[in-house]
Amino acid sequence: MKLSKQHSMYESEHTLFIKALKEKNPGMEAGQAQGRALLWDRPPVSLDEQERQMKSAIKQQAYVYQNKI
């Protein structure tokens, strides 16, 4: 579906808000990239390390709120 020339230039209020926000804070995208790198962009864990983590994990009981008898 092809839009007419009039509608192809349309920008929503949300798009205009994001553009204005980026103009006010030019370093915002770099900060977002740093935050992403901090939490998500990590090197893959080796298979040996994964196995060590699995063996050292404490087993959780089936119903966590029940007291052990």
Is the per-residue pLDDT at 69 higher than 70?
A: no
Spell out the domain ranges in the chain.
11-41
Is the per-residue pLDDT at 53 higher than 80?
A: yes
The answer to whether the Cα torsion of 53, 59, 62, 63 is positive or negative is: negative
d(CA 33, CA 28): 9
pLDDT digits (tens, 9 = 90+) for 6-51: 677 889 999 999 999 999 999 999 999 999 988 888 888 899 999 9
Position 36: which residue type? R
Q: Supply the pTM of this predicted model.
A: 0.47
- pLDDT value at residue 59: 82
d(CA 19, CA 28): 12
